[in-house]
């Protein structure tokens, strides 16, 4: 077994882990990133695509703005639709010029892998087994088995960026964590369609049959979502049924309707809220979905992960430059403040735009009143816009 000494071990080669490694490399801090999945799987899986203004600014500041600038779709507004009418919220006007950018998570991963390989960073995909040990010591260990053999990395710090089902959080004694969790009674059926988006900006819609969302991944690929029961089966949704339901929910009185085309991918996403406190244990620090899950309605998951690793990279840089652990000690509290703000907004957006199962006439009228107030009150629109485009990282 080969034994290596390295400052930082990173578990998970998704956008959080790769971005953390990139930020550390720019600060002159050596790291290794390991993942049990293949590089192809990490790149090709379709996930979040709405980037807050602060996320876009950070990626550009650290040299990752090339394709993002050329191919990302900047949106200065979004639509809320109900009663067969779309109402546009001018995000830029409401927030002093800030906006969102649609750029797929898989594209960010491509950019990061290219940048890290160009810098000569160490990334291991297809690990057969990964384990964390000695977490309660000053030299935690990252043990990796690959087809080439076993290696142990003795680290100063370990970053768990391996998602909700990863080993990092599971390696922490349950007695050391407090878990907050709520499973929402909604599931999203999401599809990628080979069709030009029928709107240049996102359309969030509340219909009597439930929520629907028109988004996009490019000028030729549309991303669409439907609310369905939490116990729904994917085989119950052939393509014809999906398009029929999308037409029903998204067609507006003025004749607007989504463009249709071949469905390239489809999948079901359950909705939950999850937070663990604290976001660290000894010298193991959790970031992204390993520490928190938010409902996707508010488009916060990827952006929260970016804020986590930005904060962790700064704290590690301060430690190695000055010897101070003040920022590392504050990492969890600062992250939890941002996380709970995102939970509040995402849960509010979810309750605003989804029909609860067995909704009463009272529920329907209350939701309609909420939306009517929102689209006619500049103060209410400003609150939504500020949260949606994101707050400064610090």
Q: Which residues are catalytic?
A: 75, 204, 296, 300, 388
Cα distance between the two ends of the chain: 42
Token pair 């969302």 is at which residue? 213
Contact assessment for residue 258 and residue 242, using Cβ atoms and an 8 Å cutoff: no
Gap between the Cα atoms of 163 and 21, Å rounded: 16
322: its two tokens: 């000055």
The residue count for the chain: 394
In the chain, where does DSSP find H-type helix? 15-26, 39-44, 53-61, 66-71, 91-94, 105-118, 167-170, 239-250, 301-322, 326-353, 361-376, 378-389
Provide the pairing of β-strand 77-82 with 73-75. unpaired
Reduced to 3 states (helix: H, G, I; strand: E, B; else coil), residue 178 is strand
Tell me how far CA of residue 244 lies from CA of 116, 236, 261, 357, in angstroms. 44, 13, 13, 21
């Amino acid at each position: 077994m080969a034994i290596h000494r390295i400052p930082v071990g990173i578990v998970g080669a998704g956008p959080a882990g790769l971005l953390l490694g990139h930020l550390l490399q720019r600060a002159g801090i050596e790291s290794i990133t390991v993942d049990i999945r293949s590089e192809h799987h990490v790149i090709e899986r379709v996930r979040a695509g709405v980037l807050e203004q602060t996320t876009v600014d950070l990626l550009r500041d650290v040299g990752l703005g090339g394709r993002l600038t050329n191919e990302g779709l900047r949106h200065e507004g979004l639509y809320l639709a109900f009663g067969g009418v779309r109402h546009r919220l001018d995000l830029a006007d409401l927030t002093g010029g800030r906006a969102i950018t649609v750029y797929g998570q898989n594209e960010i991963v491509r950019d990061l892998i290219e940048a890290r390989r160009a810098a000569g960073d160490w990334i291991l995909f297809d690990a057969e087994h990964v384990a964390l040990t000695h977490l309660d010591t000053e030299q935690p260990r990252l043990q990796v088995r690959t087809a080439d053999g076993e290696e142990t990395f003795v680290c100063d710090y370990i970053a768990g960026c391996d998602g909700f089902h990863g080993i990092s959080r599971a390696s922490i004694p349950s007695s050391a964590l407090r878990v907050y969790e709520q499973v929402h009674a909604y599931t999203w059926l999401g599809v990628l369609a080979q069709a030009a988006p029928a709107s240049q900006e996102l359309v969030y819609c509340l219909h009597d049959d439930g929520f629907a969302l028109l988004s996009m991944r490019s000028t030729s690929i549309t991303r669409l979502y439907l609310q369905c029961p939490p116990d729904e089966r994917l085989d119950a949704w052939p393509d014809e049924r999906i398009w029929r339901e999308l037409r029903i929910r998204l067609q507006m009185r003025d004749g607007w309707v989504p463009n249709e085309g071949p469905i390239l991918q489809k999948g079901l996403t359950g909705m939950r809220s999850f937070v663990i406190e604290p976001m660290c244990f000894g010298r193991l620090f959790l970031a992204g979905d390993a520490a928190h899950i938010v409902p996707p309605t508010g488009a916060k998951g990827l952006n929260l992960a970016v804020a986590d690793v930005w904060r962790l990279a700064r704290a590690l840089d301060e430690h190695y430059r000055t010897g101070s652990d003040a920022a590392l000690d504050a990492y969890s509290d600062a992250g939890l403040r941002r996380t709970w703000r995102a939970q509040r907004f995402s849960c509010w957006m979810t309750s605003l735009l989804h029909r609860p199962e067995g909704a009463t006439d009272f529920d329907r009228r209350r939701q309609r009143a909420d939306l009517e107030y929102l689209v006619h009150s500049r103060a209410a629109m400003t609150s939504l816009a500020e949260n949606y485009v994101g707050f400064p990282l610090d």
